[in-house]
Amino acid sequence: ARGIKKYFPIKKGFFMREVGQVKAVEEINLSVRRGETLGLVGESGCGKSTLGRTLIRLYEPTAGSIKFDGSDFLNLKGGELRQKRRDIQMIFQDPYASLDSRMTVGQIIEQPFKIHGLLGPAEREIRVKQLLELVGLKASHVNRYPHEFSGGQRQRISIARAVALNPKLIICDEPVSALDVSIQAQVLNLLKDLQERLNLTYIFISHDLSVIEHVCDRIAVMYLGKIVEMASRDELFKNPQHPYTRALMSSIPSIGMGKKKMSKILTGEIPSPINPPSGCTFHPRCAYKVAKCSEVVPEFEAIAPEHFKACHVDLDKDLERNLKETL
């Protein structure tokens, strides 16, 4: 994806005049490699879901270009687009809302086959039962309704539906955020297992860095519609170089660290994406800022092979300041 922007118009009054724009996604460049899991992480409202949806044209981008599996994805139409759409699926946060409560599990999972006119009824039934078993449910559950399952089981049902047509790419948008912590690991492990067995590529969206660390190969940290840092998982966790990434990491709850300490590290609200701050949009909240931060937009640049950040300050060179802050 190159130069992806997604702005939503704000309209007001009787004539619905456009009075402004919500700049939800701003000039994003990224690539996802076959077979990997690319994580998008940031506080809620940073644009990660909007980016995920824009990348697969659930929202049409305001600007930019997307190449998917060799084709110019934004210019595909009709049958070609439908064909490519089969290769891309999405798993949502809320398994309660994303499953139709009036349909049986079998009807839910066979839907993609019906929509695309694939397989006859008998073949569909066989395939649906295989899919149930693939995600760790029983084939005999085929005639039950969503409310008869637990949250984790319901997310397994949406995963079965998502993989039904052998997609290449799945956007997982906070897939375990609505689940009990005890169930989260099971669902994450299922996703990992399916990735290997079915040769899937994931874009994995979460506000939760510990979940991101568990599943992602590479991670993009987002703030106010932009990627501020991107690196492999190991590099990012060992050597975070953007103040926002460091703030997010120090707010991962750990033993002996209460809520109070967490809120001290990342103060203030996310500014409005309608009128984002000048210069580096993180400057109102940044503990490392220097004079030019409020004036000059930092470039997104490589600081090591495969490690990029958008920040004027070299945090490692800033030892004295770091030390003062720790004391």
Q: What share of the chain is helix, strand, coil (3-state, %, to 5)?
A: 40, 20, 40
49 binds, among Mg ion, ligand SF4, none (CB under 5 to 8 A by kind): Mg ion
Minimal distance in Å, beta carbon 281 to ligand SF4? 8
| Residue 49 in contact with Mg ion, rule: CB under 5 A | yes
Residue 162 CA to residue 174 CA, distance in Å, equals 15
User: Going edge to edge, which strands form the sheet with 17-28?
Assistant: 17-28, 2-12, 63-65
E strand or H helix that includes residue 237 = helix 233-238
Give the x-and-dash track for 116-145 against Mg ion (CB under 5 A): ------------------------------
DSSP code for 290: -
How many residues belong to the site for ligand SF4 (CB under 6 A)?
Answer: 12
| Residue 283 in contact with ligand SF4, rule: CB under 6 A | yes
309 binds, among Mg ion, ligand SF4, none (CB under 5 to 8 A by kind): none
243 binds, among ligand SF4, Mg ion, none (CB under 5 to 8 A by kind): ligand SF4
The stretch among 49-57, 77-85, 183-191, 261-269 that binds Mg ion (CB under 5 A) is 49-57
Give the x-and-dash track for 235-264 against ligand SF4 (CB under 6 A): --------x---------------------
Quote the tokens at residue 44.
């809620």
Q: Which of 45, 28, 31, 41 is nearest to 214 (CA)?
A: 41
Nearer to ligand SF4 by C-beta: 60 or 320?
320
| Cα–Cα distances in angstroms (integers) from residue 42 to residues 47, 57, 101, 245, 259, in the given order | 8, 21, 32, 9, 18
| Residue 289 in contact with ligand SF4, rule: CB under 6 A | yes
**DSSP letter string over 240-270?**
--SHHHHHHHHTS--TT--HHHHHHHS-SPP
38 binds, among Mg ion, ligand SF4, none (CB under 5 to 8 A by kind): none
Quote the tokens at residue 95.
């398994």
Minimal distance in Å, beta carbon 49 to ligand SF4? 23
Residue 313 CA to residue 289 CA, distance in Å, equals 8
Nearer to ligand SF4 by C-beta: 167 or 240?
240
List contacts with Mg ion (CB under 5 A).
Answer: 49
List contacts with ligand SF4 (CB under 6 A).
Answer: 243, 280, 282-283, 286, 288-289, 293, 298, 311-313
